[in-house]
């Protein structure tokens, strides 16, 4: 069997979102456990270092930190929901946070979905369970 025959097609999504907080405060809210529990339903765990463990929503999703760069405001981790088949490879989430006139602009790239349906569900999930709660956390 050739190498090409063993590759599986994956799907991705790319999103931009504005959060009304400074890049520093937003990065902290994504990487400090005490702050994650303030905005994330079910809380989360984050070891803020490369190869550190990561989970959100009472362990619904788990992964490992791949990139942790507080100076550049870049964070990346593997992402695998518990209901995905054990044979399904991890997807990868990458956050890039930049300052803008409203606070912060997030560029979120989530790659490696096993299907377009999963990518579509996650698109809605990122808005409903991450971006909007983060924004609410900062404007309350």
Give the tokens for residue 42: 């079910």
Q: What is the mean pLDDT of residues 13-37?
A: 97
CA max distance for the chain: 57
Separation between Cα atoms, residue 60 and residue 57, nearest integer Å: 5
Give the tokens for residue 44: 């989360």
User: Which CATH number among 3.40.50.720, 2.60.120.200, 3.30.530.20, 1.10.10.60 corresponds to the domain 9-139?
Assistant: 3.30.530.20
Q: What are the residue ranges spanned by the domains of the chain?
A: 9-139
3 has a pLDDT exceeding 70: no
Query: What pLDDT digit, counting tens, does each position of 36-91 carry?
Result: 999 999 999 999 999 999 999 999 999 999 999 999 999 999 999 999 999 999 99
Residue 7 has a pLDDT of: 62
């Amino acid at each position: 069997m050739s190498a090409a025959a063993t590759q599986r097609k994956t799907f991705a999504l790319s999103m931009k979102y504005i959060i009304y907080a400074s890049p520093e405060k937003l990065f902290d809210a994504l990487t400090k456990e005490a702050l994650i529990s303030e905005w994330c339903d079910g809380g989360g765990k984050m070891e803020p270092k490369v190869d550190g463990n990561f989970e959100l929503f009472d362990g619904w999703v788990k992964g490992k930190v791949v990139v942790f760069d507080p100076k550049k405001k870049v964070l990346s981790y593997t992402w695998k929901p518990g209901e995905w088949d054990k044979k399904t490879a991890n997807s990868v989430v990458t956050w890039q946070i930049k300052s803008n006139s409203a606070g912060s602009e997030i560029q979120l790239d989530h790659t490696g979905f096993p299907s377009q349906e999963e990518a579509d569900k996650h698109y809605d999930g990122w808005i409903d369970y991450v971006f909007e709660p983060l924004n609410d956390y900062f404007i309350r």
